[in-house]
Amino acid sequence: MKTPFLALSTLSAIALTALAAGPDISKLPPAAKTTGLTYDKDIRPMFEKSCFKCHGAEKQKGKLRLDSLEATLKGGENGPNVVAKDSAKSTLVHSVGRLVDDEAMPPEGKGEPWTKDQVALIRAWVDQGAK
Ligand code: HEC
């Protein structure tokens, strides 16, 4: 009985370490240099194409809507996922950057993954204050 217990506790120690460390931010592309980004002009159209069907008027998966700036900043069942001026801490950015498999958005097989340019653009928008 001792060996399985040891194996289990080692595994959970590894899992806990991974959780504490958080996702690997270095895998995100750097923020784009584009200035003057706004939700209405630059971000909403990207959300409309790949997120509204689950986070819009019809469905609100994870209690999250992305079809207005106000709703986007309010966040979902786990609270805000955009930290204005800090894209590296914004879990919404982690999700489109696909840092963690089971939190990647759009979910695997449910739409085109965002390109590096798109992730770079939303990073820049968040870093500029998410207006
Ligand atoms: C096919 C449906 C679907 C699409 C498309 C989709 N999502 Fe999601 N999303 C979900 C589900 C389901 C959850 C609930 C958590 C989970 O089960 O992973 C979720 C949760 C989230 C959360 C966490 C909310 C919280 O507070 O827990 C974020 C952020 C998010 N999605 C962002 C996006 C973004 C950005 C897009 C578009 C790029 C997108 N999602 C597209 C289904 C979808």
pLDDT in tens, 26-49: 999 999 999 999 999 999 999 999
Token pair in block for residue 90? 């914004």
d(C-alpha 86, C-alpha 90), whole Å: 7
Residue 16 clears pLDDT 60, i.e. is over it: no
Place of tokens 């999700």: 95
> What is the CB < 6 Å shell around ligand 1?
50-51, 53-55, 61-62, 64, 66, 75-78, 81, 91-92, 95-96, 105-107, 110-111
Which residue out of 39, 42, 49, 51 has the highest number of ligand 1 atoms within 8 Å of its CB and is therefore the one to mutate?
A: 51
Query: Could you tell me the sign of the dihedral formed by the alpha carbons of 71, 77, 79, 84, in that order?
Result: negative
Angle at CA of residue 94, ends 73 and 74, nearest 5° = 10
Nearest residue to 124 (alpha-carbon basis) of 90, 98, 100: 90
Mention every residue, 6+ apart, whose C-beta is less than 8 A from residue 10. Answer: none
pLDDT tens per residue across span 66-112: 999 999 999 999 999 999 999 999 999 999 999 999 999 999 999 99
